[in-house]
Amino acid sequence: MSSMDEIEEEAKAAAEKMVMNMMQRPGQLEKVEQYKKRITHKKASIEAQLKSAVQGKLDGVSVGLKQLKECLDDVQEISLKIDELEELLKGVPPLVASLQAVREEDSRHSQYVTAMDSLKHIFTVPESVAKTKQWIGEGKLLHAHQCLNDLENSRDDLLYELHRLPNQSSHDKIMLKAYFEDVEMVSNLLEKQIKLILARTLNTVRKEPTVIVTALRIIEREEKRDQMALQQQNQSGFMPPGRPKGWRAKAFDVLECAVAQRVEGTRVDEREDNKLWLVRYLELTRQLILEDLRVVKTLCVPCFPPHYDIVNKYVHMYHTCLSSSLQDIVQNGIEGNEYVTLLSWILNTYPGNELMSSSELNIDVSTLPPLLNDETMQKLQDEYLQKMQSNYMEWMEKTLESERAEWGGQRAPDVEPHSNAYHTHAPVIIFQMIDQNLQVTETISKEVTFKALVLSIEQVTRFGNMYREGVIQFKNAHFADRSRVAYFTHHMITIVNNSEQMVQLAHHTQARHWPPGKHDPPAEAKFDNMLQTFQEHLVRLLALRGDVPRARHADTVAIALAARRAAAAPATPATPPPRLFAGITFPDRLLERFAL
């Protein structure tokens, strides 16, 4: 009550305040009746709203009470039903024992039904097996497969019923399997026929694609039955005999084996029969892969299910079989130019426009593993460069022996008509040999070409050192007995001319084969060392000989060093080479024909 009194007091105070505000001026007294009516209407409106709200609440309470009563009645009824159910369940255990005979009868009935359904197949197993064999022989594979399915279903249903028995009889299982043993034999016969068809896929698909489609339909049906058998095994523990067959995996094995045979079939020659056996093998392989993959993309794709991804499968199979074949070739050993043939084919021909990147195939080989692993490729390159080095050493030693033979001869060196100077063919022979090797390596890769260039520089430097030692021996032998060599001065001039020609040819080779913008300090140092070998040592050797005035020694060396620095500088417009012996007079007029 205290709270109600407080509310009433607050209401009166608020009313007084409102009246005071309304009656602040004398003129407002005339509106008292109007104010009374307004407040009266407002009060009536509020009372009506309050009554409506109270009435709504009362109705809600009434409905809630009614629903609670209904719920109470339902709970009581459910409790009674549960009590009745508990009483009924007490009588179930005795029924289990009394119904055991019914269960056994139901099981026998199920077996009899299965046996009745399979009787027509059971009694006609020999006839069905013979008919299936006949259809397989006639190429009617779909009919044969349907008959085989009926036989397998009959066998599997009977074995499953035996599996369901509480007391399984192994004798009955053995008897059933023995009776149906011809079914498995027919299955193997059909599998063999399908494998034979798939082994000739690339030939058959061009003439009779329906044969391929039929074989693939049978394979897919068997795959579905394999999945069903696995599910049944998970549920009941029973697995039909011969399942899963896995014919799809076997189909890919057959295709891969056929691809391997086709790749190996292109190897028609051996090294003993034909020196170009590797060239012929790789070209026949290229033509085979190009044609076969074209057939796969155009004819096999419509025949094979999309999930086979047959194009990529064939690409991987050809790639794998080719890789295995090339590894065998490498393991058996290759010789001479076979290194170039193999490396060029692997790095350029196979991924290039002639094969995988052709407009007909357009296959990205970057998604495939390398034909030969990096270790094998590096080994091939190293062996090729080692053989090149061995050839360089052999050829350069023979060239030096030829030079020595000319030095000890009793005739003057030849004069080249176009230069009117003493020369031998040694510089041209050496750099022609180098240029030919570099042109060959360019068919492999720029990396191998650069390695071959550096190797060539090293071997030319080695030849220069050998050349210098030979000249020293030649000079010492002449000073020991001047009567032995009649044209010593002529040969010494020829040596200097050859040295200068070696430098010029070295620059020409560098300009042709050095990669633009390539910066390799060790290789550049080797090139400078080669130039130094021919520009300094041999020139100094000749200057120390005595036929050249001592006063010209410093000038001769300075000119040689200047020529080396000019060679290392960027290319500039051609200028006449330095005339190292300009102004020098020799006693023999023939020597006046010498020029640099």
Three-state DSSP at 422 gives strand
pLDDT, one tens digit per residue, over 358-367 is 988 889 888 8
At 157, give phi and psi (nearest 5°): -65, -45
* Residue 583 near residue 548 (C-beta atoms within 8 A): no
Tell me what pLDDT residue 593 has. Answer: 32
Q: Which DSSP category does 416 fall into?
A: E
580 — pLDDT class (breaks 50, 70, 90): very low
Kindly report whether the global pTM for this prediction surpasses the value 0.75.
no
Q: Is the pLDDT of residue 255 over 90?
A: yes
- ∠ CA(212), CA(217), CA(218), 5° rounding? 100
119 — pLDDT class (breaks 50, 70, 90): low
Tell me what pLDDT residue 538 has. Answer: 57
Structure tokens at 179: 């009776």
Tell me what pLDDT residue 267 has. Answer: 85
pLDDT, one tens digit per residue, over 177-196 is 787 888 888 999 999 999 99
Express as a percent the part of the chain with pLDDT over 70.
Answer: 86
**AA letter at 123:** F
Q: What mean pLDDT is predicted for residues 292-316?
A: 93
Q: Which residue carries 């794998």 as its tokens?
A: 320
Three-state DSSP at 415 gives strand
Chain-centroid distance, C-alpha 265? 25
Q: Greater confidence, 496 or 209?
A: 209
What is the chain's percent helix, strand, coil content, to nearest 5?
80, 0, 20
Tell me what pLDDT residue 493 has. Answer: 82
**AA letter at 256:** E
Q: Is the pLDDT of residue 312 over 80?
A: yes
Q: What is the 3-state secondary structure (H, E, C) of 186-253?
A: HHHHHHHHHHHHHHCHHHHHHHCHHHHHHHHHHHHHHHHHHHHHHHHHHHHCCCCCCCCCCHHHHHHH
CA-based nearest residue to 226, from 206, 241, 214: 241
pLDDT, one tens digit per residue, over 39-78 is 888 888 888 888 888 888 888 888 889 899 999 999 999 9
Q: Which DSSP category does 570 fall into?
A: P
Tell me what pLDDT residue 324 has. Answer: 93
Q: Using the Cα atoms of residue 267, residue 271, residue 276 and residue 278 in order, give the sign of their dihedral.
A: positive
Q: Is the pLDDT of residue 551 over 60?
A: no
* Residue 595 near residue 419 (C-beta atoms within 8 A): yes
Q: Is the pLDDT of residue 552 over 50?
A: no
Q: What mean pLDDT is predicted for residues 574-585?
A: 36
Tell me what pLDDT residue 547 has. Answer: 43
Q: Is the pLDDT of residue 578 over 50?
A: no
CA dist 250 and 188 (Å) reads 12
Tell me what pLDDT residue 476 has. Answer: 84
Which CA distances in Å does 400 have to 403, 439, 466, 468, 469? Answer: 5, 24, 8, 10, 11
Tell me what pLDDT residue 555 has. Answer: 44
CA dist 409 and 424 (Å) reads 13
561 — pLDDT class (breaks 50, 70, 90): very low
458 — pLDDT class (breaks 50, 70, 90): very high
164 — pLDDT class (breaks 50, 70, 90): confident
Tell me what pLDDT residue 579 has. Answer: 37
The mean pLDDT value of the chain amounts to: 81
* Residue 496 near residue 580 (C-beta atoms within 8 A): yes
CA dist 468 and 533 (Å) reads 8
Q: What mean pLDDT is predicted for residues 192-206?
A: 93
Tell me what pLDDT residue 589 has. Answer: 30
Other C-beta atoms lying within 10 Å of the C-beta of residue 54: 10
Lowest mean pLDDT among 145-154, 437-446, 531-540: 531-540
554 — pLDDT class (breaks 50, 70, 90): very low
Q: What mean pLDDT is predicted for residues 408-424?
A: 76
For residue 226, give every residue at least 6 positions away whose Cβ sits within 8 Å of its Cβ, in sequence order, or none: 243, 244, 245, 246
350 — pLDDT class (breaks 50, 70, 90): very high
Tell me what pLDDT residue 281 has. Answer: 92
Lowest mean pLDDT among 344-348, 366-370, 381-385, 535-539: 535-539
Tell me what pLDDT residue 571 has. Answer: 41
pLDDT, one tens digit per residue, over 356-390 is 999 888 898 888 999 999 999 999 999 999 999 99
The b/e string for 499-530 (b: 16+ C-beta within 10 A; e otherwise) is: bbbbbbbbbebbeebbeeeeeeeebbebbbeb
Q: Greater confidence, 16 or 557?
A: 16
596 — pLDDT class (breaks 50, 70, 90): very low
Tell me what pLDDT residue 498 has. Answer: 84
Q: Is the pLDDT of residue 565 over 50?
A: no
